[in-house]
Structure 1
Amino acid sequence: MSKDSDASQPSKGVPRDYKTASPYSSRPSQGITPELLSLVKRTALHLKGRLPKNVEVDDLMQSGLEGLIQAMDSFDESRNITLEQYSKTRIRGAMLDDVRRMSQTTRTTIGFKREHRAAVEKLTIRFGREPTGREVASYLGKDIDTYQKERVIIAGSDNPSDDTAITTSLESDDIEPSPHEDLEKRELISNLKDSINELPERTQLILSLYYQDELSLKEIAAVIDVSESRVSQILSDTANRLRTKLSINQ
């Protein structure tokens, strides 16, 4: 067997997906060698120690391989630098670019979650029941298709390998609750109303101004003559207190 064919054989200890020879058949000397694969792996492991736990080494390696291939494609052999030296920056840069993209996606998903949850909480208090998807979408100033797409994104982030969760997210607005589920919701709303009625009168007023009249924190502060930060603190403390009380009663 020739040396060229030996060099194209996978090396031990390298994941199967990464045992790929260079696609540049006109430049066989530029194949992805075990040394270059090792560089990708070392870079991935080094970065992994500095990144959040949800970032996987395999994902970093995949990004790094793409950076490596780009480096191989643009490498100029006439320059006074080795391919390995030239590839280091491209490999690391490709990994960090993908991490940034993942981080942006995560921030977007968290934003959707917070926005949807706040809208549901407000509308639940306003209507005395859990709002429908269309009501939440209307409150947020979005059409129902946009709202459902956002719910799919949220469901996918919570259950990335669960297609059922994503399908359920799309269909849940069209499904009538079972008698048992409907009773549970009614009991939850009833408990919520009782808990609100037990709050101090000023706190009830703040809740009413914020959730029903939709006044801003600044406007509420002017009405009850306290600072805006104090209004924010009261709303936050009250929400936490109600959640705790409802979880105990369930």
Structure 2
Amino acid sequence: MSTLEQETQLSPFQRYLRTHFHQDDADLVQLQLEAQAAGLPAISIGPEQGKFLQLLVALTGARHVLEIGTLGGYSGAWIARALPAAGRLISLEMNPRHAAFAQGQWNRLGLGATATVISGSALATLLTLTPAAPFDMIFIDADKETYPDYLEWAIRLARPGTAIVLDNVELHGRLVDQAAQDLPHVRAMQRTMTMLASDPRLVSTVVPYVDGLAVTVVRGREG
């Protein structure tokens, strides 16, 4: 759902919060408009989640961030802007056209030295990222049927204290809709949520932003 479409569905309080705390600046507005003009799917996160990611980078002191699912580079822009001078964002994107668009936008925003897209299958790329690990923060916003695998890989590429964020865990209500439980992406998200809730390596919660934003931290050895 595009930011413009989200605006029409906001409550008065949500609109107030967006105006005062979560508003896109001119560069991010341009990124979204150019993504729309280029025909990219209007499914990026909104400014609420973007600001949350920005704050999470600052709160955790993250310097090395992995993003699974780049799309047009909007979420990556929020993350990269929050990183320190020596920070680095690696983002994985299946669609080469989307990857090229995102990298071009980051270059336009002066983030090209900080944020890099790797195009191709995320699962195949994750196999190659062990030398770059551990990551301080990992954001997952990609194909939902592969979320259980993405989460497992995120844990492998993490360290104690790494924050992992997963978008769209509510699936627009389908997660708890009994009529939707046989859908493959719903079954995959159910497995993901069970893992978040019960895996002893993790401590997790869900922030009710738009479509559910799960946040988990990798435990230390002492648990």
**TM-score, with structure 1 as normaliser:** 0.23
Structure with the bigger percentage of helix? 1
Q: Which has the higher contact order (CA 8 A, sep 6+)?
A: 2
Structure with the bigger percentage of strand? 2
**TM-score, with structure 2 as normaliser:** 0.25
